[in-house]
Amino acid sequence: MVKINEKAFNEIVEKYHLNIKNNEYFIEALTHSSYANEHSLKSNERIEFLGDAVLGLLVAEYLYESFPNIHEGKMTKIRASYVCEDANAGYCRKMGIDKLILLGHGEELSGGRSRPAVLNDAFEAFLGAVYLSGGLIEVKKILAKVVFPEISENDAKPFVDYKSQLQEYIQAESRVSLKYRLDDVQGPPHKRIFTISAVHDGISLGTGVGSSKKDAEQMAAKEALEKMVKK
């Protein structure tokens, strides 16, 4: 019978005061496809699909209730910033879900436990399991501590999506796609500082620094737009 790390699982349950059980939903949620293939089990892909929908719904509800003066387009952009692969991978690490993921031997050896796509899926699948076991109210307990504070802290001010603005400008002027290049990473694992450049046709248009890749990309896009205005 497959078992997950009970000690680590119970720590999450206690930390977030969850009224749930360690049942088959969580085994499914934490089973990566590589482990599922090796042991003839059901992977977390279906329950991740459910968790993704639950996460999107509750973040949308939070934005609607917390930011009454912002329009639908801005809410969509804010949600996209905080419900995405990089963000979800960070939430997964913060909760300690990464320690619970059941990975196949090859996936483990190749660094799958730190891969953003794997962590993103595990986080959403875990939320799906919480929903099936305890309902929306239990999922909200997690988001209230892990996701919502990030949005409150960073988006109380008007949200400007510089990346989208720059993308629209580039698409109107050129067929060459815009790319973001990681130039430097400094600091300890829990406090990284990223330096990223917005690059078009081999030319750096702007460089940004931030505590996450998405923040650094936004700052790079902002600098690029400011340079274009000056020209």
Query: Do residue 149 and residue 209 come from a single domain?
Result: no
pLDDT in tens, 98-113: 999 998 888 888 887 8
Query: Do residue 208 and residue 95 come from a single domain?
Result: no
Strongest mean pLDDT among 35-44, 50-59, 202-211: 50-59
| Residue-number span of the structural domain to which 14 is assigned | 6-155
* Phi, psi of 103, rounded to the nearest 5 degrees: -115, 150
The pLDDT score that the predictor gives to residue 24 is: 85
Q: Higher pLDDT residue, 73 or 92?
A: 92
CA pair distance 183, 36, nearest whole angstrom: 37
Query: Do residue 147 and residue 221 come from a single domain?
Result: no
Alpha helices by DSSP H, the chain: 6-15, 24-29, 33-39, 45-66, 72-82, 85-95, 105-109, 116-134, 136-146, 148-155, 162-173, 213-230
Work out the average pLDDT over 70-82.
85
* Active site annotation includes 124: yes
Catalytic: which of 124, 215, 217, 223? Answer: 124
- Residue 199 bridge partners (DSSP): 179, 204
Give exposure, 177-198, as e/b (b: 16+ Cβ within 10 Å).
ebebeebeeeeeeeeeebbbbb
Indicate whether 207 belongs to any domain.
Answer: yes
Indicate whether 1 belongs to any domain.
Answer: no
pLDDT in tens, 115-156: 888 999 999 999 999 999 999 999 999 999 999 998 865 554
pTM: 0.68
pLDDT in tens, 12-54: 999 999 998 767 899 999 999 999 989 888 999 999 999 999 9
Q: Cα–Cα–Cα angle for 196, 77, 165, nearest 5°?
A: 55
What does the radius of gyration of the chain's CA atoms come to, in whole angstroms?
A: 20
Catalytic: which of 28, 52, 138, 215? Answer: 52
Query: Do residue 52 and residue 132 come from a single domain?
Result: yes
Residue 2, token pair as written in the block: 């497959």
Q: Which of 101, 130, 155 is the last residue of a domain?
A: 155
Tell me, what CATH number does 205's domain have?
3.30.160.20
